Every structure is written in structure tokens, then in C-alpha cells.
Amino acid sequence: MELAGWERAHGYASNEHLLEVYGDKVPVRANEWDNRHFWRVSNAEHLKMSEDVGMINVSHFAEFDVVGPDAADLLEYICVAKVGGDTPVGKGIYTHFLDAKGGVRADLTVLRLAQDHYRVIDGADAGHRDLTWVRRMAQDRGANVTVTDTTTQFGCLGVWGPNARATIQKIADEPESWSHENFPFAALRNLTIKGVPVLAFRISYVGEQGWELHFKYEDGLALWDALAELGVTPVGVETYANTRRMEKSLRLQNGDLLTEYNLMECDLARPKVKAADFHGKEAHLKFRERAHQPAMLCTLTMISNIDSTGVARYPLGNLPVMDPATGQTLIDSEGRRSYTTSIAYGPSIGKNIALAYLPYEYCQVGRELQIQYFDDIYPVKVEAVGYGALYDPENIKPRS
């Protein structure tokens, strides 16, 4: 699964044995096109992580540091969320950059490492673009900062699953530092695991307990081996980027999040707007004044995935979303057509899941619509308007 020059594992051959346990929940894809870009082992890894613990190599993250006397003020202006002021050192903030028209330009996390030192964690495909933009903003504003690309200095392993904490504590040099009380969500800690220094960030894109473990590249293999010796399952990027984040209704920059749509439409707006000025704020405030948004990012599931030849299909790509009454692609009041922005099979719920922006008048949970994949039409149902997870680890019992 190549991204921005990074070769990322779809899944791991060492996990083929997991199909003996989970094969009944991972359908065989009979259609050659659907199967060409997929490996069943990946869905088995997904299910194993949900029951136990898995590690995902996310070293493709783009990272850059913003350091200097004006670092806090600069990032406070660029970010929608509050990252400066009294934001404590040792906290990570999920935030966005907007363009001047209020569209969603970037989706990322900002780590406050010191009063005048921040690290931005970004997607591989968007990172260089956002790095360049921050540098230009610093130049335009005359900010006294240094913006340094640190992508190739640090790697990252995500360790997630219901047993993530208990597993890490077995090899952590300070096990008590990993407790929920000592390590709350969105916190950062400089800790060691079997002597390997890590910057641990408690956050998850897969809806499971756990951490991003950031490390210097030369320490990566020792960290991987320490976790592997405990039986932690390596999990491919198919789970991270597609199946699990979609079961959790989590959005993908440059897929679901686009400058054509605002933060309210993708249901990522914060309850309150910060007092400080930020880029795109004027447009953002005007969008918030609307009685309702022209469109909303919704979660859909396929009611049936059987094609006209009787074969079960597992769609890929950006598919038109249509009104069953007319057969026409939906168009909102701004003239934007509805297409699936993401689509994947979710093995935990056993359904094909899609995200798509729907016009306001079609945004009702339970409403049935249609999508077209090649020459066939398939029924879909609106499961959530805005954010709405289909999978909740707290309410789903593990397999016996």
C-alpha cells in the first residue's frame, strides 16, 4: 500500500495462520478486481487486534518541528484548536488547518514538547504540503521560528488493542507510568521500554486502547523485537487506514476531508470557537451561523452486495450515490455531487461500509439510497449522519 513513496505492509505473511481462527469472518472475494487489491490475512489481523493487541508500523507519518519564540503564536494562528497560551507541555492536540474560505485543508495532531517547541504529526501524503504551507505562513507573518522536517529522524509504532496497556507494562521500565491515572488520553510521556527511549502519545485511529510510540530510527528494531517476543501481532495498514477507522467512522484527510467542505459538514467542529484569531476563522464563523449545512458526511452500509451475476462484491473507489426514485446522483444546494469518499469491508460488523457527503434533505438515519459499482446498482442505508461509530469495543464481546 504505497503512499508518498513509502511502501507499507498491507498485511504480514507471518499471520496467515490467523485465517484458521478468523476465516469464517473474512469472506473470499470471488471477483478478480475486488480481490486484486486485497489480502484476507489483513482482515484476520484486524480481528486479532480487536481481541488482544497489535502493532502497526506507522513510520510513514510526516513529522516536522516548529521551534522558536514565536512557535506558539504561529501555530495558534494556523490551527483551529487551541495549541498555544496555557496549553500544557506534554499534551497532544487533534486539530485542523483551514483555507481562507473555511474549507478543511489539513487534519493532524500537534504535540507541545516545550513552551517554544512543537511537533506536528501528519499524514505521509499531506505532510510535505503542510510543512511548506507552515513555512510560508511563518515567512508571511515574520515569525521567529525554525521549521524542520523530522520525518526521517523518527519512526513510529502504534500499539493498540484491549490488552495494549497490560502488554506494554510487562516490558516497560516504569510500568506504573502507563496506568490510566498516570497517562490520560492525549498525553505525552518520554519513557523507556526495555531501555529503548520512546515518546509515547496516547491516541488511537483504530478505536482501541493504546499509544503511538515514537522513536529514533536506530532504536526501532529493538522496540519491534521486544514487542514481538511478547507475541504482539504485527498488523498491516489495511486495518489502520481502511477497515477499523471506517468501523469507527473516523475521517481520512484528502479522502473524506476536503477543502470543498467545512468542519461542520464533516462533523469535526469543536463545540466552541476559540477566542484567538486563526486562518479561515471568519468563513468558519459564517458557516456556523447556518440553520443547517448544505451537506453532511454520513456513514452508509450496503444492504446487499450481490451483483447481477450472483457474486458478492466488495467495492473500491469513489462511487456515485443516487436517489432510488430517480436514479440520479445526489446534488446538494452548493452544486456538489455525492460520491463515496471511502469504502471498505468491515470484518467486525460483517458489512461493506462507506462514507459520503449527502445533501441535507437526504440526511436521515435509516434512509435507503443506491450506489453504482461498475454496471450494477446496490442498495445502501444511512447508518449515521455525521460521526457515528458502527463498532464500539465497550459493547462488543470478544469471541469465546
The tens digit of pLDDT for each residue in 42-97 reads 999 999 999 999 999 999 999 999 999 999 999 999 999 999 999 999 999 999 99
Per-residue pLDDT tens digits for 99-115: 999 999 999 999 999 99
Q: In angstroms, rounded to a whole number, what is the distance separating the alpha carbons of residues 133 and 131?
A: 5
Mean of pLDDT values over 278-302:
98
Q: What count of other Cβ atoms lies within 10 Å of the Cβ of residue 174? A: 12
Q: Which one-letter DSSP state was computed for residue 79? A: B
**Which helix (H) or strand (E) covers residue 33, if one does?**
helix 32-36
Provide the b/e sequence for 243-258 (b: ≥16 CB within 10 Å): bbbbbbbbbbbebbbb
CATH number at 62-149: 3.30.70.1400
Per-residue pLDDT tens digits for 314-368: 999 999 999 999 999 999 999 999 999 999 999 999 999 999 999 999 999 999 9
Q: In angstroms, rounded to a whole number, what is the distance separating the alpha carbons of residues 213 and 196?
A: 11
| 35: its cell numbers | 480481490
Spacing of C-alpha 274 from chain mean position = 24
Pairing of strands 146-149, 62-67: antiparallel
Provide the b/e sequence for 307-342 (b: ≥16 CB within 10 Å): beeeebbbbeeebbbbeeeeeebbebeeebebbbbb
**Residue boundaries of the structural domains of the chain:** 62-149
| pLDDT at position 399 over 80 | no
Q: In angstroms, rounded to a whole number, what is the distance separating the alpha carbons of residues 145 and 172?
A: 35
| pLDDT at position 396 over 60 | no
Contact 85, 98 (CB under 8 A): no
3-state SS assignment for residue 77: helix
Half-sphere exposure in the Cβ direction for 284 (13 Å, CA): 28
Q: What is the reported pLDDT for 394?
A: 57
Q: What is the pTM of this model?
A: 0.95
Chain position carrying cell 485542523: 96
Contact 377, 322 (CB under 8 A): yes
Q: What count of other Cβ atoms lies within 10 Å of the Cβ of residue 273? A: 13
Confidence category of residue 397, pLDDT binned at 50, 70, 90: very low
Confidence category of residue 392, pLDDT binned at 50, 70, 90: confident
